[in-house]
Amino acid sequence: MDIDWGTIPAWVSGLGSTGALWVGAVTLRRAQDKESRSEADAVVCRDERGDCCGYDLAAAHWIASAANGSERPVHHVFLITYDSATDTMGVSHLLANVLPPGVADHIHLPAPPPEWSRPAAVIFRDADRTWWLRDLMEQSLYRQSPLPGVGKVRRTLRRLEKEGRLTLPQQLARGGHGHHAPW
């Protein structure tokens, strides 16, 4: 029995079609990423010391705010703080469960002395279920990739912690006000 491998022009044509399909898929993915990033860029986050809502405690608290300038809602907006005294990061505070389009919200946080603790980042999920992190120091925006097998990683870390081979800061496991962090 002889196997017919086809002709060289048929192979070249098949490879060309496959290449065109790949280029089309990459172009579509880039366009979708650009649109998704532009929506996430419209979510403005900032932090400041100041007086708001009649607290009149300018030196004793931080105000962290998020404003949704996109056309679709964002969900699970968490503020992540940094404490330079203990060099820990990851205490999370729920800023808004859902932030509708055109709406701004803020949260007041008690602040230790000025250089010890401050809001560091805001993490949120857009309408396409993509997690984004905005660095409040530089105002940089980063896509948070979903981790495959995150449950397995979490179970392994817990097992190592129980065995005494790993020490995890409690702040990373649970948010500051009892809210679960989104990761």
What is the CATH code of the structural domain delimited by 43-173? 2.60.40
**Burial of 174 per CB tally in 10 Å (0-12, 13-18, 19+):** middle
Task: Tell me which residue of 141, 134, 7 sits closest to 78, measured CA to CA.
Answer: 134
Read off the pLDDT band of 170 (50, 70, 90).
very low
pLDDT-based confidence at residue 176 (cuts at 50, 70, 90): very low
| Cβ contacts of 32 within 8 Å, gap of 6 or more | none
Q: Are 49 and 87 in contact, with CB atoms under 8 Å apart?
A: no
Neighbour tally for 94: CB within 10 Å = 18
Is pTM beyond 0.85? Reply is: no
Which one, of 118, 70, 71, 125, lies nearest residue 97 by Cα?
Answer: 125
Q: What is the pLDDT of residues 89-142, one digit of tens each?
A: 666 778 888 888 888 887 777 665 545 566 777 888 888 888 888 887 777 888
Distance CA 130, CA 41 (A): 13
Tens digit of pLDDT for each residue in 48-70?
Answer: 666 666 555 555 667 777 888 88
